[in-house]
């Protein structure tokens, strides 16, 4: 389906991610196949009478809301992505919804002629695996098999993979192999060692290694301009042309998000910060909290945008929708149209996607 010169970002299916994806061009889409992770809705924690909801009430409300949302996801995919191939991962939603949820998504997807590829983890329960395999065969678009770092710490990995293939009765050529190492560290991207542990490495339809190095949050950064290494990209790029690799994997990451998903804490005070991807680093324009007696609030965004657009490393307003947004907001630091955490995350994600797609497209 695609070769090494391809990008597989993990995107949680929230507003900023959807809108950031929507703004890439049709030409750019040729180099990308996203994995969208559906997440649980977060209901209001307080009832109308002012009393707090119990954890059981919150979960019930979240499940009922998601039941209504799941059949609408294919329509959203068509709007924000189109009909190109896209991976669907439901591992972050309540286990009671994963089978019926996938069934509804694939059914609605076929009506809209979408190319949806369900993703299953190797360590999922046999019930989930059996159901997903059956639905994948009915859908006839293949299946994504997601391996995590813990799978490689297990001695019988080859046996586990072969057992999955026997159970599924699927051919290697029908399966996209997604090796998700999650948090990047100095040890996790030894591609040659990973490849040695995977049987029949040349036979899988596609092969991608995914990881992420963006911090969990920005609380450890003082208000200022900061740069941190893009360890995920740098490690992958430095190894991809090694003569010892039996097969070169495609690149995947978590864009400018932390690999381990967690909902924002109730009552948190987000900062007016901008996340911007460079060729080998992340630039962080760390602002102060949006709320507070001495805070300049949302007015910090245009000021930070102006400062960012003046940096030598800035890609220019014609590079992407996100870059044009930065330039536009930075033109007038007194504007009332400052943007919000959602629109600034959208801009950062869109720029990141464009940046990685350009890097991938220009690989030798």
Q: Using one digit for the tens of pLDDT, what is the confidence trace for 144-181?
A: 999 998 888 766 888 999 999 998 999 999 999 999 99
The pTM assigned to this predicted structure is: 0.95
Contact indicator for 29, 7 with CB cutoff of 8 Å: no
Q: With respect to CATH, is domain 10-361 assigned 3.20.20?
A: yes
Backbone angles phi, psi at 240, to 5 degrees: -65, -30
**Of the candidates 23, 58, 17, which has an alpha carbon nearest to the alpha carbon of residue 41?**
58
Give the pLDDT of residue 154. 65
Indicate the length of the chain as a whole number.
364
pLDDT one-digit tens code per residue, 319-332: 999 999 999 999 99
Average pLDDT of the residues of the chain: 92
Report in angstroms the alpha-carbon separations of 234 from 189, 212, 253: 10, 11, 12
Q: Give the whole-angstrom CA distance, residue 349 versus residue 355.
A: 10
The dihedral formed by the CA atoms of 106, 136, 200 and 122, expressed in degrees to the nearest 10: 80
Domain ranges of the chain: 10-361
Give the pLDDT of residue 189. 62
Give the pLDDT of residue 276. 98
Can you give 275-316 as a three-state secondary structure string? EEECCCEEEEEECCECCCCCCCHHHHHHHHHHHHHCCCCCCC
pLDDT one-digit tens code per residue, 258-275: 999 987 776 678 888 999
Residues in contact with 311: Cβ distance below 8 Å, sequence separation at least 6, in sequence order: 225, 283
State whether residue 192 is helix, strand or coil: helix
Q: Give the whole-angstrom CA distance, residue 300 versus residue 114.
A: 41
Residues in contact with 76: Cβ distance below 8 Å, sequence separation at least 6, in sequence order: 13, 18
């Amino acid at each position: 389906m695609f070769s090494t010169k391809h990008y597989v970002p993990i995107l949680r299916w929230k507003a900023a991610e959807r809108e950031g994806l929507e703004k890439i061009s049709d030409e750019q889409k040729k180099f990308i196949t996203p994995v969208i992770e559906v997440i649980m809705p977060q209901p209001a924690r307080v009832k109308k009478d002012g009393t707090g909801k119990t954890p059981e009430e919150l979960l019930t409300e979240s499940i009922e809301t998601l039941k209504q949302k799941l059949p609408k996801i294919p329509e959203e995919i068509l709007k924000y992505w189109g009909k190109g191939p896209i991976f669907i991962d439901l591992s972050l939603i309540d286990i009671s919804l994963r089978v019926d949820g996938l069934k509804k998504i694939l059914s609605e997807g076929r009506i809209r002629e979408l190319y949806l590829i369900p993703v299953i983890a190797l360590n999922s329960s046999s019930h989930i695996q059996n159901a997903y395999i059956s639905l994948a065969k009915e859908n006839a678009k293949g299946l994504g098999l997601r391996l995590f770092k813990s799978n490689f710490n297990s001695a019988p990995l080859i046996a586990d993979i072969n057992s999955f293939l026997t159970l599924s009765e699927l051919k290697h050529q029908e399966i996209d192999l997604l090796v998700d190492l999650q948090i990047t560290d100095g040890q996790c991207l030894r591609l040659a060692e990973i490849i040695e542990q995977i049987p029949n490495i040349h036979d899988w339809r596609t092969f991608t290694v995914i990881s992420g190095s963006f911090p969990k949050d920005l609380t450890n950064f003082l208000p200022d301009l900061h740069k941190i290494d893009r360890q995920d990209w740098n490690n992958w790029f430095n190894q991809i042309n090694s003569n010892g690799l039996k097969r070169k994997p495609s690149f995947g990451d978590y864009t400018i998000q932390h690999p381990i998903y967690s909902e924002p804490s109730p009552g948190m005070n987000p900062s007016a910060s901008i996340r911007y991807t460079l060729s080998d680093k992340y630039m962080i324009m760390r602002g102060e909290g949006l709320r507070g007696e001495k805070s300049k609030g949302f007015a910090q965004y245009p000021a930070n945008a102006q400062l960012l657009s003046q940096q030598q490393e800035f890609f220019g307003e014609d590079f992407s929708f996100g870059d044009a947004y930065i330039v536009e907001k930075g033109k007038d630091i007194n504007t009332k149209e400052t943007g919000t955490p959602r629109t600034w995350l959208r801009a950062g994600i869109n720029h990141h996607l464009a940046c990685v797609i350009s890097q991938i497209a220009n690989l030798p």
